[in-house]
Chains A and B, each alone.
Chain A
C-alpha cells in the first residue's frame, strides 16, 4: 500500500531531501554474482585473465590460454568474454579473438562448447567455462564440428591435422584463409 497523503507531503519536501542520498550506480544482479566468480577463480597454469577496461568493469574481460600439451602446445589463444546483466541466468558470450584452425571453433571465433549454449546452467561459473575452453585445446573433437574441414582432417588423418595446426599457428595462408602467428 502506498499512502497518498504521504506522497502529498513528500512532493513539497522532495527537492530538499533528494540531496541526502548518494547518486550511486544501479548494480545489476549479474555484476554482483560476477564479482564472486572472479574473486574465486582458480585457473590452470596455462590460463590467464585480463581486464582491458580496468578493475571496475568485470563484465568484459579476456582469457588467454597457452596449451601445454596436445596439438596446440606452444600456441596462445585469447578469448573475449561478455557477461550479461542477468548473469548467471544467461551464459557469457565467448569468442576467440584471432583465427584458429580448430574443429570446434569457426574462423569467426564462434566456439562450440556445450556449457556455453544448450547445457548452460546458473550453477556453473566462469571457472567452469575457462576449463571447458582449455580442454578444447588439449582434446579437440571431431564430433561437434564448427569448422567441418578441420574436423574431417582430425578424424581421417590426425597426422595431417597436427601438421595443419602447426602451420597455422606459425602464421600464413592455408587455402584462402590468413592465420596470424600465435606462438
Chain B
C-alpha cells in the first residue's frame, strides 16, 4: 500500500500541479489539495463507451490522469484491420472482445487502476448501470449509439419548480469523434449545455446513392459495394438480414462487390473500403484519435475536479491542411424533447386521460387540441389514425395516475395542434407531470430539510 502511494505520487507529478495548487481559471467548486486527488481516485467512476480507436486512447489517457475506477463497454471483437491504431491490441488478440483486452492491457501497464470490461451492446445494460457513473465518456463512431447514450444520460435529469436543472441529476458526458484528419471533442452537461439531440444537425446525413444507379449504372467502387450490400445480399440470402459486425457477411459483400466492379471495369474495391462504405466509416487516423482523446480526458478531469473551467462547449479539430482548431459555444434548444425542462403540469390523481387531454386545450402555454399522449414507450392515446384511435380509446376513461403506474411524477409527450390564431401548428411537446396528493409529501420533506 505504502509503496504504491510512493510510485503513484511520482507518476502524478504533473497532475499534482493541477490538483494541489490554487489558480485563477479554476471552476467554482475547485478545492485544491491532496484530499481532492485522493477523492478523485476513490470516488470518481468513469464509463468509457467504445473500445475502438478512440476508446483505447481514452482508457490509457484516463488511467494516466489519475482515475482509478474505470469501466468500458463495447460489443465488438478485435479484427486484424484494427491493429494499426488500436494500440492496446496484438495479433494474438484477434477475435477477442475489445473491451476485455483493452481493460487487461491498461491494467497491466498502469498500476493501481481498475477497469471493468463489459462485452455487450449498450442497450443491454439497465439504466441503473449508467446512473452509477460520475461521468460518461464516449468514443463512438455512430449517430445511433450517441443518440442512445444521450437519451439515457438526459433521462436522469430532473428540473426544479423554476425549470432549473437539479445539479445532482446532471450526468455529464464528454463526447469525442474522429473522421480521418478531422475530429471533435465536446462537453455535454444535460440541462446546462446543448445535448446531442439539440445539435443533431451537426452530423450530416449519410450519403445515399439512388438504388437504380446501383442496380443499373454503377460508376464508382462505392456503387459496387452498396449494390452487393443492399441489393445482391437480399437476392441471395432470402430473409437472412445482413450483419455489418459479422466478418463473414462483410467478406461476402466484398467478394460480390469485386465481381461487379470487374464486370463494369471499375477499379478500387478493397475489403477495407467495403467496411468503410457499409458501416459509413471514414478511415481512422491514429494521431487524430490521440489528439481528440487527450482533449476528452482533460475535459473529464476538469469536470471531475473543477481544476479548470470546461471547454464551452464544442471543439473541432481539422488537420487536413495545416492545423485548424476552434471552440464553438452552441446553444441549447429550449424545447428539446430530450434535455429540455418541458412544461410543468400538476394534476389530481383522479384526473382521467380524457380530462387531461381536455385540460391541454386550456393550458396557456400549450392551447393544444386533439392531443395524442405517450408515456415511457407506451401510447396511451393516439388521436389518429382511426385504427390506433380505436386501439387506445379505452384508456380515455382511466385515471392518468394509474396509466402511469402510480408514479408521483413523470414525463409525458403530447402531440397535437397548438398555439393561437394564425400561429396554430402541429407540434410535439414534453410535459413534466406531478400528482398533487402524492407530490405534497415530497414537497413537505424538502421544505423541512
Contact = CB atoms under 8 A, between A and B. Distances in A.
Are the chains A and B members of one assembly? yes
Interface of A: 1-8, 10-11, 14, 18, 22-33, 35-36, 38-41, 43, 48-51, 54-56, 58, 84-86, 89-91, 104, 106-112, 114, 117-118, 120, 122, 144-146, 148
| Most chain B C-beta atoms within 10 Å of own C-beta, residue among A49, A85, A120 | A85
Contact of B143 (A3, A89, A145): A89
Contacts of A58: 379
Given A7-B134, A27-B151, A89-B143, A112 B210 contact: yes
Contacts of B376: 22, 24-25, 27
A100 to B, nearest CB: 15
Contacts of B391: 51, 54-55
Given A1-B306, A27-B376, A84 B426 contact: no
A29 B387 contact: no
Given A4-B304, A35-B372, A84-B144, A27 B377 contact: yes
A22 B405 CA distance: 8
B44 A32 contact: no
B265 interface: no
B39 A5 contact: yes
A129 to B, nearest CB: 14
Given A7-B134, A106-B231, 16 more contacts: A27-B374, A27-B413, A28-B147, A35-B413, A36-B427, A38-B385, A48-B387, A51-B391, A90-B205, A108-B231, A112-B211, A112-B215, A114-B210, A117-B208, A118-B209, A148-B216
Q: Looking at chain B, what size class is its interface with the partner chain? A: 35 or more
Interface in B344-396: 372, 374, 376-379, 382-385, 387-388, 391-392
A31 B377 contact: yes
22 contacts: A2-B135, A24-B376, A25-B377, A26-B152, A29-B151, A35-B379, A35-B382, A35-B415, A36-B426, A38-B388, A39-B382, A39-B383, A41-B384, A41-B385, A48-B387, A51-B387, A54-B391, A56-B377, A56-B379, A110-B230, A112-B212, A118-B207
Given A22-B376, A24-B127, A2 B337 contact: no
B172 interface: yes
A50 B39 CA distance: 55
A127 B326 CA distance: 40
A23 B155 CA distance: 11
A148 B211 CA distance: 12
B444 interface: no
Given A43-B385, A56-B379, A2 B304 contact: yes
A55 B382 contact: yes
B428 interface: yes
Nearest to B305: A4
A32 B374 contact: yes
The majority secondary structure among interface residues of chain B is mixed
A101 to B, nearest CB: 16
B210 A40 contact: no
Contacts of A39: 372, 382-385, 388, 415-416
A150 B235 CA distance: 17
B128 A18 contact: yes
A29 B197 CA distance: 8
| Most chain A C-beta atoms within 10 Å of own C-beta, residue among B36, B384, B392 | B384
Contact of A4 (B40, B207, B216, B372): B40
A29 B338 contact: yes
A3 B374 contact: no
Interface in B17-76: 27-29, 36, 39-40, 43-44
Contact of B44 (A7, A10, A27, A84): A7
B315 to A, nearest CB: 18
A86 B170 CA distance: 23
Contacts of B147: 28-30, 85-86
Contacts of A27: 151, 155, 374, 376-377, 413
A35 B385 contact: no
B103 interface: no
Contacts of A85: 144, 147-148
B127 A26 contact: yes
Contacts of B212: 104, 112, 144-146
| Most chain B C-beta atoms within 10 Å of own C-beta, residue among A111, A112, A114, A122 | A112
A83 to B, nearest CB: 12
Contact of A10 (B144, B168, B379, B382): B168
Contacts of A35: 372, 374, 379, 382, 413, 415, 428
B385 A6 contact: no
Given A8-B39, A89-B200, A32 B303 contact: no
Contacts of A50: 387
A148 B303 CA distance: 59
Contacts of A109: 234
